[in-house]
Amino acid sequence: MEVQKIGNTKIVVDLCDITKEKTDAIVNAANSHLAHGGGVALAISRAGGATINEESKRYVKEHGPVPTGEVTTTSGGNLKSHYVIHAVGPIWGEGSEEEKLSSAFYNSLVKADELDIKSIAFPAISSGIYGFPKDKCASIFFKTIKLYLEEEKTDLKLIRMCLYSKEDCEIFEKIMKEEF
């Protein structure tokens, strides 16, 4: 586990299962239609129960697909977290991926502040089935957090990067040390 601090906000990289996080919100690596059929989205959907899927379907029916780089929210269902922030990340190779991924991270933090929460846990958005290189994902994550914490007034006390494999955790820890 690697820890850094910016102002009053602690940033943690840890090997963990995001579906078991006790943070106020967790972030889901979602697709535009909020169809939680694979990867971290499926794990969150299964752990959170039917409520997350029902709320997701209702949102898309009422508002249409969520654009890449944008976010929306559902309740946490059966999860320990109160909210799931669904962040739509880019597919590697679609164009402007780095900007879109940065927007997904940044907009998740904006939504966290809108919800007045104190803690949030992220997965490595787009670095699984969407093919985004993990080292680039890590670099964008830390740069975006630093930018957000320097630009915005926030009450966030804890930002966690929850990684499911030791290899991914080591990549993020290495990049964190380089960025801070």
At 17-64, the pLDDT tens digits run 999 999 999 999 999 999 998 889 999 999 999 999 999 999 999 999
The percentage of residues in the chain with a pLDDT greater than 70, rounded to a whole number, is 100
Stretch 3-16: mean pLDDT, rounded?
96
The pLDDT score that the predictor gives to residue 50 is 95
Lookup: tokens for 9:
């906000």
CATH H superfamily, domain 2-179: Leucine Aminopeptidase, subunit E, domain 1 (3.40.220.10)
Determine the Cα–Cα distance for residues 167 and 178; give it in Å rounded to an integer: 17
Determine the Cα–Cα distance for residues 25 and 35; give it in Å rounded to an integer: 19
Helix (H, G, I), strand (E, B) or coil at 168: helix
Task: Report the DSSP pairing between strands 83-88 and 71-75.
Answer: antiparallel
The pLDDT score that the predictor gives to residue 123 is 98
Contact 78, 51 (CB under 8 A): yes
What digits encode the pLDDT tens for the residues 105-134?
999 999 999 999 999 999 999 999 999 999
The structural domains of the chain, with segments of one domain joined by +, span 2-179
The pLDDT score that the predictor gives to residue 152 is 87
Instruction: Look up residue 18 and give its DSSP letter.
Output: G
Lookup: tokens for 152:
């915005």
- Helix boundaries (H) for 27-84: 39-48, 50-63
* Average pLDDT of every residue of the chain: 96
